[in-house]
Amino acid sequence: MKAVVQRVTRASVTVGGEQISAIGRGICVLLGISLEDTQKELEHMVRKILNLRVFEDESGKHWSKSVMDKQYEVLCISQFTLQCVLKGNKPDFHLAMPTEQAESFYNSFLEQLRKTYRPELIKDGKFGAYMQVHIQNDGPVTVELESPAPGAAASDPKQLSKLEKQQQRKEKTRAKGPSESSKERNAPRKEDRSASSGAEGDVSSEREP
C-alpha cells in the first residue's frame, strides 16, 4: 500500500462540476492499494498517517505534531495510479488491486480511520469516479508512505538498525584478529619444536636442565 500525504491549508473534491467534499487545515491523502495488501497493511498505514508529525507545536517547533494532535481534518482519495510501473514510457497498473476488491478494501480503510480518529473529521472523494482534486499544499510539505511488503520485516527501520549493529559487531570481531581458541589451534606444538633441527633445535636444547 502506498500513500502520498500532503499538508494542506484546504482541499476539496469535485465530481461532474459538483463539490462533494472539502476540508480546511489538515492533510490530503492519496492512497494506492496493491494486489498483496491485507488487513495488516491497512492498519499499518492508518497508524502511520494519523501519527505522521508534519505540523508545528504551540511554540513553533516544526515536525512536532500529528493531524490527531492538532485535531485537523483528513481528506482521503483513492488513487490506483500510485501502483504504476512503467513499460517503456507507458504506465501499467497490473499491481493495483482490482476495482471490485479495492472498493471494499478502501471502505475498510476509511472505517478504520474513523474508528481510530474522529469520524466527522474524515472526508473522502468518490471511489472510481473521475474527480478533480483541489489541493492547496502548505509549505509545500509532501510525504510518501509505503507499508512493508509481506514478509519483509527487514524494511522496518528498527529491524534495519538491529541488523546494522550485528554487522558492526562482526566487523569489530574480525578487526581484533583470530580468537584465543583459533590461536591455540594454529600455534605450533611443543613436541614439534623439540624435534626441529637447526637453530630452533638448539634453542630447545638450551632450555633443558
Tens of pLDDT along 173-186? 665 555 555 555 55
Least Cα distance to 25 among 54, 59, 60 occurs for 54
Q: Identify the helix (H) or strand (E) that includes residue 192.
A: helix 190-195
**Backbone region of residue 128 per phi and psi (left: phi > 0; alpha: psi in -120 to 50; beta: other values):** left
pTM (2 d.p.)? 0.72
Q: What is the pLDDT of residues 78-133, one digit of tens each?
A: 999 999 999 999 999 999 999 999 999 999 999 999 999 999 999 999 999 999 99
What is the DSSP secondary-structure string of 59-98? T--SS-B-HHHHT-EEEEEE-GGGG-EEETTEEE-TTBPP
Instruction: Look at residue 124 and tell me if it is in a domain.
Output: yes
Instruction: Look at residue 54 and tell me if it is in a domain.
Output: yes
Torsional sign, CA 139, 144, 145, 148:
negative
Domain count, the chain: 1
CATH number of the domain within which 136 lies: 3.50.80.10
Measured between alpha carbons, how far is 105 from 33 in angstroms, rounded to an integer?
Answer: 8
Q: Which residues constitute the domain of residue 33?
A: 2-146
Instruction: Look at residue 194 and tell me if it is in a domain.
Output: no
Instruction: Look at residue 169 and tell me if it is in a domain.
Output: no
Q: What grid cell was written down for 1?
A: 500500500
Q: What angle do CA 84, 85, 87 make, to 5 degrees?
A: 130
Task: Indicate the length of the chain as a whole number.
Answer: 209
pLDDT of residue 149: 76
pLDDT of residue 172: 66
Q: State what percent of residues in the chain have pLDDT above 70.
A: 72
If pLDDT is split at 50, 70 and 90, which confidence band does 169 have? Answer: confident
pLDDT of residue 195: 43
Q: What is the pLDDT of residues 22-48, one digit of tens each?
A: 999 999 999 999 999 999 999 999 999
Instruction: Look at residue 138 and tell me if it is in a domain.
Output: yes
Measured between alpha carbons, how far is 186 from 182 in angstroms, rounded to an integer?
Answer: 6
Interval 142-162 mean pLDDT: 71
Instruction: Look at residue 206 and tell me if it is in a domain.
Output: no
DSSP 169: H
Instruction: Look at residue 183 and tell me if it is in a domain.
Output: no
Instruction: Look at residue 170 and tell me if it is in a domain.
Output: no
**Backbone region of residue 167 per phi and psi (left: phi > 0; alpha: psi in -120 to 50; beta: other values):** alpha
